[in-house]
Amino acid sequence: MSCAAFEEEGLEGRWGKGIMKIMKGSLTVFKADRKRNLCVCSVNYDILAASVTDYDKTSLWHKRLGHISLKGLELLQKEGVLIDKIEKLKFCDECVMGKQHKVQFPASQTPNPSFSSSILDYVHADVWGP
């Protein structure tokens, strides 16, 4: 379950006394009992409702298959592996980030490049962070 999705819907979680509750105001929407280290829920399938959003199946298969190219997806569809309709692939941030290269430090003039001869000769920093 996604706590962020619950929060976006205006829900909040409460835990205590071996019970997990997902609530909207004072109304309990979902409840689960603790069994050892897991919260186990029992669902009445007669009243079960699901919220399904429309999603891009091409993008979904692209991500499921390790960010495969559009040509690869089309080949899998042609061979009958994928039955979903393959459309134009949308821009993928993860593919761009994954294809970037690190720039290496220049070779050191000292006998052992892992040591510096004076303070702050080499400074290693993670400058890519958030």
Query: What does 18-48 look like in DSSP terms, one character per residue?
Result: TEEEEEETTEEEEEEEEETTEEE----TTS-
Q: What is the pLDDT of residues 15-71, one digit of tens each?
A: 888 888 888 888 888 888 888 888 777 665 555 556 556 678 888 889 888 898 999
- Strand pairing report for 12-16 and 19-24: antiparallel
Whole-prediction pTM value? 0.40
- Cα(76)–Cα(82) distance, integer angstroms: 6
